[in-house]
Amino acid sequence: MMLVMIRDIEELKSYSANLQRIYAYWQLKRGSHPMPRRSDLDPTEIPPHLLPGITLVDVVPDERRYVYRLVGTMEAEVRGYDPTGRSVAEAFFGENAEDATECYDRVVETGAPVLDPIPFLERRRGYRGAESLFLPLSNDGVAVNMILVFFDPEAVVRFTGAR
């Protein structure tokens, strides 16, 4: 999997304006810190049309590693279920659990945003979507304890021919 480390909004210029908006919001909320706290984020400050594409994932100190805390309505619709409370390894969205956790691992290791530039394709339910942006959150400014994942809900399309 080819992941892109994001250090500046300029690196997102070839992607959707909504992806850039979420990144700019994350940058604003982190201020002079490496990453914002979860409590720095206010859903009322995020444009309502972007909220369905937001998922929050807890970083936990056990074998589960990553657990879905909040799953946007578009994410749940594309999956066909809401994985809230389940681990990413158990309820991953992708080719396999290893690929699904690679982005999370990279964010935790670096404390930096990561872009998965490959748009998703969900054949069984017939959805095609956008790239995903993984943004670290930290209560202490050092260790990543939560990851905000965003894909542009306006870029998701339903196609016929699903199996």
In the chain, domain spans:
4-158
Read off the pTM.
0.91
Q: Token pair for residue 32?
A: 């002079």
In terms of CATH architecture, what is 4-158? Answer: 2-Layer Sandwich (3.30)
pLDDT per residue as tens digits for the range 141-162: 899 999 999 988 888 777 765 4
Q: Tell me how far CA of residue 17 lies from CA of 76, 89, 91, 97, 107, in angstroms.
A: 23, 30, 29, 29, 22
pLDDT per residue as tens digits for the range 31-60: 999 999 999 999 999 999 999 999 999 999
Collapsing DSSP to helix, strand or coil, 116 comes out as strand
